[in-house]
Structure 1
Amino acid sequence: MEIYLDNAATTKPSKALLPLFSAHVESEWKNPSAMYPPAVAAERQLRAARETLAGAVHADPAGVVFTSGGTEGANTAILRGYRAAGEKKLHFITSAYEHPCVYECFRALETAGHSVDYIRPRADGKIHPEDVAEKVREDTALVSVMHVNNETGAVNDIAGIAAAVKAKNPGTAVHADGVQGYGKCPLDFGGSALDYYTASAHKLHGLKGTGVLFYKKNAPLKPYLLGGGQEKGLRSGTENTFGILAFARAVEEYMAHREEWVAHMAALKAYLLDKLSDIPDMRIFSPADGAPHILNLAFPGMRGEVLLHLLEQKKIYISTGSACSSHKKRAGSRVHQALGVPADITQGVVRLSFCPENTEEEMETAAAAIKEALAGFRGFIRR
């Protein structure tokens, strides 16, 4: 039996997508930019998908740009979503523990001569609105702070952050990476001061290669991809019709069961923690009020990568952090470095992440396997 506990990396596509695929292959594969009736019907389907995706966060369907995923959405908002001042170099703010798709954008802005402040999380693992607002200046062009940290599951008050930033400088644009939060953590995007919010389908039982960028009417968004002028000129390229419709269908299903599913994942997280609670020196990095689907732990004396491979021999799949950084050589996670975790502990961090299909039986099996691995190898593998 396979036990998949890496849902923060990607989720199993919903079976509800199968009828959509059949219809797409048979007849609904036309280009929505064409003029004949079947293509016009495809465009109507995209319009309905915008309404569904926007409805999940109370956004305006008119402010929806379909993208290839969270990376493209974040890059577009950060690099093309602020008001330039000619050749003048500007100021930007982000957190010290952003996902690479955000963090590397700000590194690129620094390389181009702009200045960037990286806000560190407090002891509770969160980025606090007042800490961000303190750094806002007259020339601050854009702020980006993630909704849910992809490694620890800490939930940031992004609406509060946006309000605090705008109170200090109304002209500063605010973006939040919502890849781990969209659908799982409630958000009133339309009622907030946020300008941009990005999400990805494959984190919510949709398909890889599809995402969405929500933006406000007066946001200074400019196109990142140029070409045929699709998406009101903001994202050229033929729309991934099937991927978009699959995203909308997955969101419909998730939102219909959200309260039940979120409670189920939170219960599984608590159940697994209870089963592991007798392990000496276990470190827990996920806040008690964090996202329901992410549990971040470390077992001093056991490297996270070693534990991952020991568990995979039993077909139990976990991760050591962000999948997007798994092939990079690094001295521990940048997220945990930002949290002030000692280097020897960061080497032992693992992430277990859940979906509605996971069960208590799987948690029991995983806990037993972790304990067995620690009993056999902990203390022998230090560095």
Structure 2
Amino acid sequence: MDDDLIDSDALSLSRKSRLPGAGFFYPDSLDEEYADRRAREAIEGAEAVVVADGDADGLGCVALLREVYDAALDVAPFEASLAARADSSLTDDEDEDDREDSPVGLVTASPHSLDDALERVAEYADPDVDVFVCDLCPDDESVIEVVEAVVARAETVRWFDHHQWDDDVAAAVRGAGVDLVVGESDEECTADVALRSLDYDFPDHLADLAAVTRDHDLWIKEDPRSDDLADYSHWASAEEYVTVVGRYGPELPEPVRDYLEHRRVEKERLIEAAVDRAEMESVGPWTVGVTYGRCSQNEVAEALREQGADAAVIVKPAGSASIRGSEGFERAHEVAGLVNGGGHPRAAGCKPDIYDDMLDYAYHWTTEGATTKQVILAAFERVASEAE
């Protein structure tokens, strides 16, 4: 395939908002090979290993743990790279392979890739390593076998989270020998849980980091710095984000602020495109705003709420969707659970199992997610029927 066909920078904004990024078109085998290599480099020889969600909350936990182990990387190379990227087209992971590794290795994962990440820890970690799992919740008890393998390899295994756990899964994880701490999902983020669970006197800037991360992750939106953390964690590499917030907390330095300003110009245009193509649907007692596009889902959801939506569905070109609620709709996780997903009462995600081949994806792109929208709205209907 001609690289130019998947080069987002060469597309008009209208087309870019309708198509997935270049990474979507890489075969899973290449992604797996790269992920395995990077995980092995991070895990082998590490004093501790953290398996974490790659968002601001999961990565905030990594910053806390590197403080505990005195294992933070030098921030200067990242700041220099930031300054260059703000004025050029350098990618966010430019020269990442050439940088040093921390004694606290980081393996990012999602709920769907958690098994793979833990398998790599069990295979590559040195005996008696400390293992932490942060901001990840298993879908079911199928994860227990690999959890037991990690426990057999490690000195300690601690798990911090704030999602809504199934009681049987939580009991099985604890029964495998894991120190599991789950906070209240509507009161704490996982960084809060890690902060109070680790026996360490954290400096003020890291306690502040947990508080601002909570403001973003629970969609409280009272601290303007939480938008900066959300955007930066999304656009920067995981190692860069962990290093910079570990050094500065939520008071991001000037090179980061300049970089965010540079990236937000296009971000706002993509948000506007998604909001403009949104439609309002009445489902049971709720008004659901439904749209499609590559965009920042939280800002789009907020705009749709301001237009009267109780819930928002943002269907992505890659086939997944974000479901956002409000005070009038706190059942997002129930809807997502019916379409191969999960999450929180006001914030959830899913990817309906409806894509059999590339023709299905081609239809998805050209119809702006028509089938996915139908499947998710049907799930809203089922939840509404149960609510009655």
* TM-score exceeds 0.5: no
TM-score, reference length from structure 2: 0.32
Q: From the two aligned structures, give the one with the greater helix fraction.
A: 2
TM-score, normalization by structure 1: 0.32
